[in-house]
Amino acid sequence: MWWEWMIFAIVLVIVPFGVKGLKKLAFSEITPTKEQERYARNKAVLYTAFFWLCDLFGMSFIIDNIACRFAFGIMVMICIFANLAVQPVVGAKGFLSKLGLIGDFLCGVGFSIYLIYIIPNKDLRTVVLAIVAAVYGGMMTLVGVAWTIKKGDKDRKEDLQRLENERKEEERIKYSPVFSVVEKNADPQKRILINLSTVENINKITTNKKNKNNIELYPVLIENSSKIEFYVYGFLFDGVFYATQEKYLIKKDYGFCVYFDDDLSFTCEHKMAICVEDLIENKYEAELNGIVENKTLYIRGNKKLQLMGA
């Protein structure tokens, strides 16, 4: 009938535009890489051929030609198996991709059953059925092997990443600084002086003592442990970073004294912290807690400082 041929022609024309629209929809929210573009083009060609062949397979019913049914049906199955063959390699990502994979498989099984069913010779039908069953069995075995290999690779990568993270954490703990505020240094010769007045841009929060709203900083004496050396590279005042002129290496059992020039005071309403770096370039912030008495900030006590980056 004429309307059957009209449907055949409409499907033949619409398919390329539909596939192109689906490709644009897939990349509507992302910018595809060159590899994704190449993969999408290959899939677009494959699906265009698939739907065209399905349309031609439908045409074989219009002309009632069994040879065309076999020819176009087999070509449809080739497209389906070509799509299924690459899935164990590239993998199906996302719900729609996995749903499409199952749909392709069921479609291939359906075409296989129908094409075997319409074979006129019973003996030939039995032979073809055995061959197709063997093909499907082998395909399922290959899929299972591919899935096992892929899962093994994934598990191995996760194990390697876990071991690497554990190694880095052990290394970080090994090199993490341990120091504390002390009242006095046991050996004045093992002491580094850090004048905050020379810190870059520190003038933004400092002034002279005449400003009654500012406070003075009583010299802070901090002593390193015997565990590991580390560097002092800056300070935080109310969350704003100020870098020292150089990175000061604090050796084992050495101390360092932090102070302002006598004629300067500063504003620090919330937090003062020291910024340190270990020997493998991990950075930490150690908050200095203290009390203000008579406009002077005292940081003192034999308490180990808490490293914010730990």
**In this predicted structure, what is the pLDDT of residue 161?**
94
Give the domain ranges of the chain: 2-118, 179-298
Residue closest to 176 by CA, chosen among 42, 15, 307: 307
Among the residues of the chain, which ranges form H helices? 2-26, 34-63, 66-90, 95-117, 122-175
In this prediction, residue 230 has a pLDDT band, given cuts at 50, 70 and 90, of very high
Q: Which residues contact 271 (CB under 8 A, 6 or more apart)?
A: 236, 237, 238, 239, 287
Q: 217 burial class (0-12, 13-18, 19+ CB within 10 angstroms)? A: buried
Q: Which two tokens stand for residue 187?
A: 């050996």
Of the two residues 188 and 64, the one the predictor is more confident about is 64
Q: Is it the case that residue 88 has pLDDT exceeding 60?
A: no
Q: Between the ranges 46-60, 97-111, 191-205, where is the mean pLDDT highest?
A: 46-60
Q: What is the residue-averaged pLDDT of the chain?
A: 80
Alpha-carbon dihedral of residues 169, 170, 173, 175, nearest 10 degrees?
-110
Q: What is the pLDDT of residues 235-290, one digit of tens each?
A: 888 778 888 888 999 999 888 888 877 666 676 665 788 899 999 888 898 888 77
CATH code 2.60.40 for 179-298: yes
With vertex at residue 25, the alpha carbon angle to CA 23 and CA 31, rounded to the nearest 5 degrees, is 85
Q: What is the pLDDT of residues 124-141, one digit of tens each?
A: 888 888 888 888 888 778
- Strands 191-195, 255-259: parallel, antiparallel or unpaired by DSSP? parallel
Q: 112 burial class (0-12, 13-18, 19+ CB within 10 angstroms)? A: buried
Q: Find out whether 291 and 250 touch, Cβ atoms under 8 Å.
A: no
**In this predicted structure, what is the pLDDT of residue 190?**
79
Q: Find out whether 273 and 222 touch, Cβ atoms under 8 Å.
A: no
Alpha-carbon span 91 to 97, nearest angstrom: 9
Alpha-carbon span 134 to 156, nearest angstrom: 33
Mean per-residue pLDDT, 161-168: 92
In this prediction, residue 12 has a pLDDT band, given cuts at 50, 70 and 90, of confident
Alpha-carbon span 191 to 177, nearest angstrom: 17
Which residue reads 């991709």 in tokens? 97
Alpha-carbon span 277 to 298, nearest angstrom: 24
Q: Is it the case that residue 87 has pLDDT exceeding 70?
A: no
* Backbone φ and ψ of 277, nearest 5°: -135, 135
